[in-house]
Structure 1
Amino acid sequence: MTARTEYHVVPEAAGWKVEHGSTVVGHYDTKENAVGAGRDAAKANQPSQLVVHKQDGQIEAEHTYRDDPFPPAG
């Protein structure tokens, strides 16, 4: 299976940002806008995964685009 490109939507001091590894893809005023931008980036760079974090940093949701390992083997 090909490695997936991961994007993370995470909180920051003045809103939300989308990260790809250690690179910040963009800064957004709202979580909704950050999730939308992250989804667009993930869909454009498949196979990929979008990981959305809550304000406290914990994972809220994960979205996989192409090559979803569900149902998991085993």
Structure 2
Amino acid sequence: MSKKNQHVVPHNDGWGVKGANSERITKITETKKEAVQIARTISKNQGSELIIHGKDGKIQSRDSHGHDPYPPKG
């Protein structure tokens, strides 16, 4: 399984979960909360990043589930 960052994006009257650089929506939900839960599970399983967008499509928040170095570099 590839490590694709998961995005929660607005979709018609609901919310969609999709992998980075993917045209297809993996899952469509009625609420943003549902979409975030699904995307978080996928992201944790893949060790990838969760990127949550607002209604306007702009990134609201990010949550990494990868193997980040601690302490962070920089």
Same fold (TM over 0.5): yes
Structure 2 equivalent of residue 64 of structure 1 = 64
| Identity across matched positions, percent | 35
2:43 is equivalent to residue 42 of structure 1: yes
Q: CA deviation at 1:24?
A: 1.4
Structure 2 equivalent of residue 32 of structure 1 = 33
How has the CA–CA distance of structure 1 residues 15 and 69 changed in structure 2, closer, same or farther, with 3 Å as cutoff? farther
How many equivalent pairs are there? 71
Aligned-residue Cα RMSD (Å) equals 1.9
TM-score (norm 2): 0.82
Please identify which structure carries the higher strand content: 1
2:51 is equivalent to residue 51 of structure 1: yes
Q: Distance in 2 between matches of 1:7 and 1:69?
A: 20
Q: CA deviation at 1:61?
A: 0.6
TM-score (norm 1): 0.82
Gaps of 5+ in 2: none
**Structure 2 counterpart of 1:41, one-letter code:** I
Displaced runs of 4 or more, over 6 A: none
Q: CA deviation at 1:62?
A: 0.2
Q: CA deviation at 1:13?
A: 1.0
